[in-house]
């Protein structure tokens, strides 16, 4: 039986906290979403309420094993369901898995369980979008892995809230022309006619 995820507040780890805990995990995990854009920009771009990381769904258990202090719940239909319930709560379209620090009574991390094919990442929005993990994942000078910003922004485009608009604007100021073109190609494929395309293409 599930419960409302809002039962507990967020007091998220920072990317360096996750990196320290997951340093010995062989599965190709990386920081995702807003923090990924922030790490690409060098950090300090804006405040973040949570921390999302992505990992191959097939190797999710490797990440969980490295975080014994947390209890994990799949977020299914706006309910937090224990992963102990088995495959029923982990299969698509469910992909978010929140880690609860039961001792502190707060959520610490959200793990995205992503489709993959061996060493290749597959987009859950459109599986024709594929990248080898060595092209999907970039790293900070300190070694923290993060998803390349074009992919982070592709997923942000679906809802495109003010914070997502701000992430796009900050990234466009830094991205090379060929990477802006790639971003436009991805968004056009998944969200044809998206309002972001004009501003992206204005810079290419």
CA 76 remoteness from chain centre? 17
Could you tell me the residue ranges of all domains in the chain?
5-147, 149-204
Q: What is the pLDDT, as a whole number, of residue 88?
A: 84
Residue-wise pLDDT tens digits, 141-159: 999 999 999 999 999 999 9
Q: Is the pTM of this model over 0.85?
A: yes
Q: What is the pLDDT, as a whole number, of residue 86?
A: 85
Contact 158, 186 (CB under 8 A): no
Confidence of residue 44 (pLDDT cuts 50, 70, 90): confident
Does residue 43 surpass a pLDDT of 90?
no
Residue-wise pLDDT tens digits, 74-123: 999 999 999 999 888 999 889 999 999 999 999 999 999 999 999 999 99
Q: What is the pLDDT, as a whole number, of residue 144?
A: 98
Q: What is the pLDDT, as a whole number, of residue 42?
A: 94
Does residue 9 surpass a pLDDT of 70?
yes
Could you tell me what percent of the chain has a pLDDT over 70? 99
Task: Let me know if domain 5-147 sits in CATH 3.30.460.
Answer: yes
The mean of the pLDDT values for the chain is 95
Q: What is the pLDDT, as a whole number, of residue 204?
A: 61
Contact 75, 185 (CB under 8 A): no
Beta strands in the chain (DSSP E): 9-10, 30-31, 52-56, 71-76, 79-82, 96-101, 106-114, 116-117, 120-122, 130-132, 137-139, 145-147
Count the Cβ atoms, other than its own, within 10 Å of residue 2: 16
200, exposed or middle or buried, with CB in 10 Å at 0-12, 13-18, 19+?
buried
């Amino acid at each position: 039986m599930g419960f409302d995820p809002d039962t507990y507040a967020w007091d998220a780890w920072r990317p360096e906290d996750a990196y320290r805990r997951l340093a010995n995990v062989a599965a190709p995990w990386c920081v995702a979403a807003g923090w990924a854009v922030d790490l690409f920009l060098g950090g300090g771009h804006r405040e973040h309420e949570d921390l999302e990381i992505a990992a191959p769904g097939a190797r999710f258990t490797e990440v969980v094993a490295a975080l014994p202090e947390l209890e994990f719940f799949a977020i299914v239909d706006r309910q937090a369901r224990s992963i102990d319930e088995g495959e029923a709560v982990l299969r698509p379209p469910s992909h978010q898995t929140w880690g609860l620090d039961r001792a502190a009574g707060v959520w610490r991390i959200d793990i995205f369980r992503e489709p993959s094919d061996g060493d290749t990442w597959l987009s859950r929005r459109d599986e024709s979008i594929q990248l080898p993990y060595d092209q999907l994942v970039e790293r900070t000078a300190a070694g923290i892995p993060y998803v390349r910003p074009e992919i982070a922004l592709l997923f942000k485009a679906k809802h495109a809230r003010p914070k997502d608009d701000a992430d796009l604007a900050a990234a466009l100021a830094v991205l090379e022309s060929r990477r802006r073109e790639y971003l436009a190609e991805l968004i056009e494929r998944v969200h044809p006619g998206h309002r972001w395309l004009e501003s992206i293409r204005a810079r290419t």
